[in-house]
């Protein structure tokens, strides 16, 4: 049985490595442009951007930390940083990765004594609070844009869809929590689920950690806007804070809506288009967007690949008889 487990782990590692290599090859042109851009960008601003990337990683870990604390479970920051980075890689490679990735890399948490139900519940809180923070940041800004006459209706439609999706998620969870129609449907379809669902329902929530989790998630959104601002500064143009916020919110909506590769391609085009509407040239908009993606996407992706590689090596070395 252990032999098959090792084989499965090898196949999984090779498959993920193959997907990662294919993905990087497909994005080779963008990577080459980023390298050239970094060579000519303001080094001080790029360094500040990387500092905020480190804060971004810490904020994601804090969001996970307080999501687990909300159900009275403790997980260390370093473990959650590792969890976030690895799940982030998987989220790029899988369809609807922002949600499907939440079921990966749970072994370490289970070894700490957490049940599968507790891990899934905390991960659900992590994802849901992440959506709530986008709405909290986005709605006031859209309201301001409406009153000053600069509202982008495409963005408004995206925000409405996001709000509806969030409402559906909350209603579905409430239905399971209160053992209403969705609970009955799931139990009738698969009686084996009843015990797992009941264990989830029995968990108690703490309000204060949920509020801290929301603050951590809002910080993630703020850092995104700061990264956009820094990206414009780094290439030597005057940043427009309204354009930065609008481009970032558009990126988030596309990130959530795209079923594959987390919006790769569509995000760059959309952000570039929005920046051009605010007076930036095509080259300025494209360059700042690529630098933004370097801070918010590529650095995290590379660190996540390293974390997964280290994890696989640690797992496989004891299994190999030299």
Cβ count near 273 (within 10 Å): 15
The model's confidence at residue 180, banded by pLDDT at 50, 70 and 90, is confident
Average pLDDT of the residues in 133-161: 75
Percent of the chain at pLDDT exceeding 90 = 26
* For residues 252-280, average pLDDT: 74
Residue with tokens 């993905």: 23
Q: What is the pLDDT of residue 167?
A: 85
Residue 322 predicted with pLDDT over 50:
no
Reported confidence tier of residue 67, pLDDT bands at 50, 70, 90: very high
Angstrom distance (rounded) from CA 83 to CA 308: 10
Q: For residue 2, name the pLDDT band (cuts at 50, 70, 90).
A: very low
pLDDT for residue 150: 64
pLDDT band at 215 (very low <50, low <70, confident <90, very high): very high
Structure token digits, residue 235: 């290439």
Using 50, 70 and 90 to split pLDDT, how confident is the model at 199?
Answer: confident
**pLDDT tens, 150-177?**
666 667 777 787 788 888 888 877 777 7
CA distance 143 to 98: 27
Rounded Cα gap, residues 208 and 262, in angstroms: 31
Q: What stretches of 174-227 adopt beta strand conformation (E)?
A: none
Residue 242's pLDDT band, with cuts at 50, 70 and 90, is confident
The Cα-based distances of 291 to 36, 39, 154, 300 in angstroms read 10, 11, 24, 13
- What pLDDT does residue 25 have? 53
pLDDT at 64: 96
Residue 171 has a CB neighbour count (10 Å cut-off) of 12
CB 304 within 8 A of CB 86: yes
The pLDDT of residue 309: 84
What is the pLDDT at residue 30? 56
Query: Looking at residues 62-85, what average pLDDT do you find?
Result: 94
Q: Would you tell me the crossing angle of helices 193-201 and 153-177 to the nearest 10 degrees? A: 100
Whether 13 and 105 have beta carbons less than 8 Å apart is answered as: no
Let me know: does 34 contact 290? Beta carbons within 8 Å: yes
Which of the two residues, 109 and 56, has the higher pLDDT score? 56
pLDDT tens digits along 93-120: 777 677 778 888 888 888 888 888 889 8
- Domain range list for the chain: 2-319
CB 131 within 8 A of CB 165: yes
């Amino acid at each position: 049985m252990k032999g098959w487990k090792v084989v499965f782990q090898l196949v999984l590692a090779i498959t993920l490595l193959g997907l990662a290599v294919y993905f990087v090859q497909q994005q080779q042109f963008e990577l080459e442009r980023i390298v050239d851009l970094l060579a000519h960008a303001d080094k001080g601003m790029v360094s500040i951007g990387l500092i905020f990337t480190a804060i971004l990683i810490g904020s994601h870990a804090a969001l996970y930390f307080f999501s687990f604390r909300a159900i009275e479970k403790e997980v260390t920051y370093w473990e959650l940083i590792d969890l976030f980075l690895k799940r982030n890689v998987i989220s790029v490679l899988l369809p609807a990765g922002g949600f499907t990735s939440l079921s990966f890399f749970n072994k370490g948490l289970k070894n700490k004594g957490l049940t599968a139900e507790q891990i899934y519940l905390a991960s659900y809180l992590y994802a849901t609070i992440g959506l709530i923070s986008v709405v909290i940041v986005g709605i006031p800004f859209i309201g301001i844009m409406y009153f000053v006459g600069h509202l982008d209706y495409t963005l408004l439609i995206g925000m409405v869809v996001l709000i509806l999706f969030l409402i559906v998620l909350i209603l579905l969870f409430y239905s399971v929590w209160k053992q209403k129609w969705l609970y009955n449907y799931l139990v009738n379809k698969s009686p084996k689920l009843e015990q797992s669902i009941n264990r989830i329902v029995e968990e108690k929530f703490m309000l204060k950690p949920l509020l801290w989790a929301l603050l951590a998630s809002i910080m993630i959104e703020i850092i995104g806007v700061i990264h956009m601002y820094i990206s414009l500064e780094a290439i030597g143009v005057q940043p427009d804070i309204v354009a930065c916020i609008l481009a970032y919110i558009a990126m988030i909506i596309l990130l959530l809506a795209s079923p594959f590769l987390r919006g790769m391609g569509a995000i760059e085009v959309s952000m570039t288009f929005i920046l051009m509407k605010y007076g930036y040239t095509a080259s300025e908009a494209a360059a700042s967007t690529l630098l933004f993606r370097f801070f918010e996407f590529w650095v995290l992706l590379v660190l996540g690949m390293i974390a997964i590689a280290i994890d696989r090596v640690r797992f496989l070395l004891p299994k190999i008889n030299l």
